[in-house]
Amino acid sequence: MQLAKIEVKNFRLLHDVEILLEKQTTVVVGRNNSGKTSLTEVMKRLLSEKHSFRFEDFSFCAHKRFWDAFAAQAAGQSEEEIRKLLPAIEIRLTFSYEKSEPLGLLSDFIVDLAPDSTDALIVIQYALLDGKLTDLFAELAAPHEDTKWDFFKALRERIADLYGSNLFAVDPNDATNRKPIDATALKALCASGFISAQRGLDDASQKDRVVIGKVLENLFTTAQKNPDDADSHNAAKELELAVKGVQDNIGLEFNQKLNALLPALSIFGYPGLADPKLLTETTLNLRIRSSSSTIIVAL
């Protein structure tokens, strides 16, 4: 079994994206603002127990659809037509499996009866809740260029209460054949871990620090759970020593290069860092955090 394809619509920089994943490792590389962080962020949201989104998470292209739906409502069109115009954040996960392999947790997500089918489709939608269309546009001034600012300001405040997430297992051959799935089931199906990139030199604004050391710590803990597994214990100890050596070398080299840059930083300053002299005090938090690409491993 593997996660073979990810499709994302209307989430941040991912207006309409489809990504095919390799069986072992898929490396996503791109320039700044090409959507790498958006991809990992949406997967983090999905694999949490609560799928939380807000108006700012909608892609910029979706904003026009909100306005078009409002204009359609003002023109007296039917609720069905208006809902077709309203954007939704949608993520589609396609899992592939072999007919002979045990399905385990994936069996809950298979709803088709086709004997030749080897795909399971999971769809997550963040969309307007039933019966909430009137509330979405209530008491807003008629659509006009001069009222757009107030419209989107009101929309930003209302989305959180009027939109909600739904998760379905969907028949790949018949979109009408679907069943609701609990978010905890998806989290159990997809074992995951994330290492976040560090973009700044000071880390004061980062409350939730997801760094490589935390991931390695989890690996050590797992390897040491079974006291009878001597091989795992030895491997964990060797890895711990190797990582310490790498960290010490990186820390020394980083400090040397950083000290060489201090004169320039003291002249030009650094965004978010009040005193360049404080750079030496932040070195410990910077080790192995910088990354120019996102790596997604699909097992």
Whether 37 and 185 map to the same domain: the answer is yes
pLDDT value for 75 = 92
Percent of the chain having pLDDT more than 90? 25
**Structural domain of 120:** 2-189
195: in domain = no
Dihedral Cα 288, 289, 290, 292, nearest 10 deg: 100
Whether 58 and 161 map to the same domain: the answer is yes
State yes or no: pLDDT of 193 exceeds 90: no
Region 172-180: what's the mean pLDDT?
88
Strand partners, 27: 295
234 Rama sector, left if φ>0, alpha if ψ -120 to 50, beta otherwise: alpha
pLDDT value for 192 = 62
DSSP 257-292: HHHHHHHHHHHH-BTTBS-GGGGGGGGGGGTT---S
pLDDT value for 85 = 94
Which of 101-105, 138-142, 273-277 comes out lowest in average pLDDT?
273-277
pLDDT value for 292 = 33
106: in domain = yes
Report d(CA 9, CA 117) in Å as an integer.
25
Whether 165 and 217 map to the same domain: the answer is no
Task: Give me 151's structure tokens.
Answer: 């419209």
Provide the mean pLDDT of the chain.
77
Give the model confidence (pLDDT) of 219-239 as tens digits: 666 666 666 667 777 777 777
Whether 126 and 174 map to the same domain: the answer is yes
Question: How many CA within 13 A on the CB side of residue 99?
Answer: 4
pLDDT value for 196 = 59
Task: Give me 292's structure tokens.
Answer: 């120019």
